[in-house]
């Protein structure tokens, strides 16, 4: 299985800073905005964005939660593989808040569709936006587009985009496999 490096650690870091700055441009002090990392791999990106906002750009106390969408997916009963649920951790209300969903790769749009359903259990947001590190723009099954994207990747159906995070995989990188 061959792999091509799409983003190096340095490129990932530059993109994370750009995404954080784009969020600041739109949300300023985050007084009515919350970040929601989608389980399982969106949480690494969400934690990084929160850390940048607070440490590098001095935004105080950016609310961050993690949303498990496993049983809200339209395909969760279709495969042979047993699904493992992750933990939802949202310690705040999203009622009338601006919610920013954060995920590593936007592929078919089905995960985001599931997240839209799942978040309703925590209130009715005033607005929902989407931030992704990688946008596989030609693979969409649903009409969902990111508001903030790190990089667009044109990959064919049998190619996989793998995002490696230092916290989990020992390196920051994005590969096309």
CA dist., res. 53 & res. 78, Å (int): 39
Q: Are 122 and 90 a contacting pair, CB within 8 Å?
A: yes
Instruction: Copy the structure tokens of residue 52.
Output: 């940048």
- Binned average pLDDT, 10 residues per bin, the chain of 177 residues: 92 98 97 97 97 97 96 69 81 96 96 96 97 93 96 90 96 97
| CA–CA gap between residue 132 and residue 42 (Å, rounded) | 8
- pTM of model > 0.85: yes
In what helix (H) or strand (E) does residue 21 lie, and over which residues does it extend?
helix 9-27
6, 69, 84, 98 from 89: Cα distances, Å: 31, 12, 16, 17
| pLDDT given for residue 2 in this prediction | 83
């Amino acid at each position: 299985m061959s792999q091509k490096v799409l983003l190096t650690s340095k490129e990932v870091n530059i993109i994370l800073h750009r995404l954080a700055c784009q969020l600041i441009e739109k949300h300023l002090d985050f007084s009515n905005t919350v970040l929601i990392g989608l389980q399982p791999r969106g949480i690494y990106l969400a934690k990084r964005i929160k850390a940048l906002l607070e440490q590098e750009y001095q935004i105080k106390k950016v609310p961050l939660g993690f949303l498990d969408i496993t049983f809200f997916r339209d395909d969760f009963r279709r495969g042979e593989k047993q699904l493992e649920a992750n933990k939802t951790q949202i310690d705040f209300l999203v009622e009338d808040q601006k919610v920013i969903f954060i995920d590593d790769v936007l592929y078919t749009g089905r995960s985001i569709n599931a997240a839209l359903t799942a978040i309703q259990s925590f209130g009715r947001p005033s607005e929902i936006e989407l931030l992704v590190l990688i946008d596989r723009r030609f693979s969409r099954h649903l009409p969902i587009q990111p508001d903030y994207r790190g990089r667009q990747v044109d990959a064919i159906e049998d190619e996989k985009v793998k995002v490696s995070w230092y916290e989990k995989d020992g390196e920051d990188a994005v590969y096309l496999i």
